[in-house]
Structure 1
Amino acid sequence: MPSKIHSTAVVDPAAIIGDGVEIGAYTVVEADVEVGENSWIGNHVNLRSGAHVGKRCKIYHSAVIGEVPQDLKFEGEESTAILGDDVIIREFVTVNRGTKALGKTTIGNKSYLMAYVHVAHDCTIGNNVIMANAIHMGGHVEIGDWAILGGGVLVHQFTKIGAHAMIGGGYRAVQDVPPYIMAAGEPLKFSGINAIGLRRRGFSGEKRIEIKEAYRLLFRSKMDKDEAVKAMADSFSSSPEIQEIISFVQKSERGLI
């Protein structure tokens, strides 16, 4: 199926446009841009050089993908902003490309970014992530698969948010948020495991109980972090989910919420 490009769109001849792509009115597609097959690009979208869009993506009106980083250290080096397959980008979202630190900003398959989200340079967003309206992220943020962020969340640079975590709307994340939990409050705090989300994604009752007990040791006992990690390792040595929690805690550089 041939691509369908509106007569007012400006598409650089060097851009790689897949079969079945639709590009709306007044959209600009620069050189060194790739758009995967059957993707839909709305009106007034700007795909800057370095933007790589996967298959079957939808990018709504006035979004900007691959703009140069808002980083004073950026010196024009080549870098990319990469969208996986089946990604939805709503109106006025901005995704900056990477810097020499990492070289790329990435958004995983089937992630959904709602209107006015800003993804800064060198961020890594996993698969199936949902980001509600007006979330702003600093550079080098990492978000795991299946995480959900409520509207208006502010994420400090270099912060890590674990897989299946859920952050309530309007809060600030300035420290790392471990996997499988819910977080809310000012300052942001642990508010239980994401039990409903885990159940919907097929985690058994036994697994949810293990995760709940691990976080009781970490956040609700009188143990310090190292003692809690040892207790988790001793109690759940064969659980991949608990091992993921332990690894996240041990690798945290900004500290936990």
Structure 2
Amino acid sequence: MIHPTAIIHPNAQLDEGVKVGAYSIIDEQVIIGRDTVIGDHVKISGKTIIGQRNKIYSFALEIGHDNVIREFCTFNIGTIDDGGVTRLGNHNWIMAYVHLAHDCQVGNHTTFANNASLAGHVHVDDWAILAGFSGVHQFCRVGAHSFIGISAVVTQDVPPFVTVAGNPTSPHGVNSEGMKRRGFSAEEIMAVKRAYKKLYRSSLSLEDAKIAIKELVAEYPKMESFLDFLLQPSSRGIMR
């Protein structure tokens, strides 16, 4: 159903079942997937592709499937410096006033609480949680299953499974509760805790910690993402 006050460009592509609320504006190059609901007073412009079954409230924009995006979120489009695309994956929960800056890459099943903000070129992996009023510096990476505490200011990469909090922000252990909810076994959680100790609670250098963690990966394959994260190039360095 398209509200009679909505303005939709003739060249915009709306799939079956799309609903557009009162006074919303859909510009020429927009593509909207099946059964997506656009609320009242929403303006969607630029080369925007929206997947299926999304719910978009006023002043919000997203890319992917089955996301929930609440009021007054702002998502900037990509720039020529980084491929030109800002991406949000699937099944994400984006609360009010969240900001995703240009060229951010957000995975699946993430949670952004109210007023969480990403600066440009930030990568957030699957199942990460950002608490309210947290912020992430440009070019940082946030690993899968990690947890960023309320009002934390992240200026370096956060490895998978790690909880960071405070301001200045620092590591505060493993997100074991999140791992339990995702179906990780007690043995796998313990292995991540062992890797955490190698990285944060020993006198090992980062390079020596990588070697020690590699030995754990041979026994617990699910930890491979932890090691891979540490081995990838980093613009900001690993938070320690």
The answer to whether TM tops 0.5 is: yes
The percent of aligned pairs where both chains have the same amino acid is: 41
Q: CA deviation at 1:237?
A: 2.0
Kindly provide the amino acid, as one letter, of the partner of residue 217 in structure 1. K
Paired position in structure 2 for 1:230: 211
Paired position in structure 1 for 2:26: 29
Q: Does 1:17 align with 2:14?
A: yes
Q: Residues 172-219 of structure 1: CA distance to partner in whole angstroms, max 9, x if unpaired? A: 011000001111012211111111110011000111011110010000
The 8 Å contact of residues 21 and 38 in structure 2, kept in 1 or not, is answered as yes
The 8 Å contact of residues 23 and 42 in structure 1, kept in 2 or not, is answered as yes
Q: Does 1:83 align with 2:63?
A: yes
Distance in 2 between the 1:20 and 1:174 partners?
A: 42
Paired position in structure 2 for 1:125: 106
Distance in 1 between the 2:90 and 2:212 partners?
A: 35
- What are the ranges of 5 or more consecutive residues in structure 1 without an aligned counterpart? 66-81
Q: CA deviation at 1:8?
A: 0.8
Paired position in structure 1 for 2:146: 165
Paired position in structure 1 for 2:198: 217
Kindly tell me the number of residue pairs found equivalent between the two proteins: 237
Paired position in structure 2 for 1:95: 75
Paired position in structure 1 for 2:46: 49
SS of the residue corresponding to residue 236 of structure 1 reads helix
Q: CA deviation at 1:238?
A: 4.4
Stretch deviating more after TM superposition (95-104 or 211-220):
95-104
SS of the residue corresponding to residue 139 of structure 2 reads coil
Paired position in structure 1 for 2:236: 254
Kindly provide the amino acid, as one letter, of the partner of residue 200 in structure 1. R
Q: Does 1:60 align with 2:42?
A: no
Q: CA deviation at 1:89?
A: 1.1
Kindly provide the amino acid, as one letter, of the partner of residue 254 in structure 1. R
Q: Residues 47-81 of structure 1: CA distance to partner in whole angstroms, max 9, x if unpaired? A: 11211111000001232x3xxxxxxxxxxxxxxxx
Q: Does 1:39 align with 2:36?
A: yes
- What are the ranges of 5 or more consecutive residues in structure 2 without an aligned counterpart? none
Distance in 2 between the 1:55 and 1:153 partners?
A: 29
Stretch deviating more after TM superposition (28-37 or 237-246):
237-246
Paired position in structure 2 for 1:108: 89
Stretch deviating more after TM superposition (237-246 or 107-116):
237-246
Stretch deviating more after TM superposition (239-248 or 124-133):
239-248
Paired position in structure 2 for 1:153: 134
SS of the residue corresponding to residue 31 of structure 1 reads coil
